[in-house]
Amino acid sequence: MSRKPIIAGNWKMHNNCNQTVELIEGLKNELKSKDMSNLPEVVIAPVFTSLYVAREELDKCGCQKIKLAAQNCYYEPKGAFTGEISLDMLKDFNLTYVIIGHSERRQYFGETDEMINKKAHAILENGMLPIICCGETLEQREQGVTDSHIQNQITKALEGISNEDCAKCIIAYEPIWAIGTGKTCDSNEANRVIKMIRNTVKALKGEMAANSIRILYGGSVKPETIEEQMAQSDIDGALVGGASLKAESFVKIVEGASSKVMA
């Protein structure tokens, strides 16, 4: 089973419109000399306010190969929800993916498993695909509850989603203690957890979904770590934070993942 690798840059709360255009120009320049046919799927997730210029810039520079994602959404289609953004509104930007359940949203903004499930349904209904984040705290890891915690997150996130839709979703395993700390999870351990996630998907949604769903690793991914991570059997790519904010390091990560791209 060949799953196309994905390298996704989660820009988090960085880059206004001008900075977004500059970074995309930088990515375009760095990618110019590369053989695009041999690259993984490349995704960037700017802030909401930069999506318009990002779309424009990607279309203008013929960079349609770089796909766009939003970092969040709200599941209701419209109404009195001050400050929220619906999927119908996000459709305007021709997005491929929407990140949901990032640990920063769970931790700082009270995003619950139930909300994440509702968001996943709304994203799929609107023709986009969710990148569903999961992961344990250091405390949970030390208590030995990593696997049960993640199984629970995945089970709740995928509730009511058909096997066919599930096969197209993306999951990102991001151990919270590895995010922004410079401390990557050991590749073998990341692969073990990702295999466990795949087995959870198999139990819930069957073999086809488990074999097709792409599961990424996130947490201090750097150009120096990507090849070892991609060499693992079940790691299908990376969700990159800090290292996606510089064109050079992000493109190095993209290149580092190209060894896993099947011709």
Closest CA to 225 of 7, 1, 4: 7
Query: What are 48's two structure tokens?
Result: 């909401």
Place of tokens 């766009």: 68
Alpha carbon 45 to chain centroid, angstroms: 9
Residue 102: active-site member: yes
Residue 131 near residue 97, CB atoms below 8 Å: yes
Using Cβ positions, the residue closest to ligand 13P within the complex turns out to be 241
Q: How many CB atoms lie within 10 A of CB 236?
A: 25
Place of tokens 């013929």: 62
Which positions ≥6 away from 95 have C-beta within 8 Å? 51, 67, 68, 69, 70, 128
Quick note: the x/- pattern for ligand 13P over 155-194, rule CB under 6 A, is -------------------x----xx--------------
- CA–CA separation, 66 vs 182, rounded Å? 26
Quick note: the x/- pattern for ligand 13P over 193-232, rule CB under 6 A, is -------------------------xxxx-----------
Place of tokens 């196309």: 4
Binding of residue 240 to ligand 13P (CB under 6 A): yes
Residue 22: active-site member: no
Q: How far is the CB of 103 from ligand 13P (least distance, A)?
A: 7
Catalytic residue among 102, 111, 136, 255: 102
Binding of residue 7 to ligand 13P (CB under 6 A): no
> Judged by CB, which is closer to ligand 13P: 16, or 181?
181
> Judged by CB, which is closer to ligand 13P: 209, or 220?
220
Binding of residue 20 to ligand 13P (CB under 6 A): no
Binding of residue 101 to ligand 13P (CB under 6 A): no
SS3 content of the chain, % helix, strand, coil (to 5): 50, 15, 35
Binding of residue 239 to ligand 13P (CB under 6 A): yes
Residues with catalytic roles: 102, 174
Binding site for ligand 13P (CB under 6 A): 10, 102, 174, 179-180, 218-221, 239-243
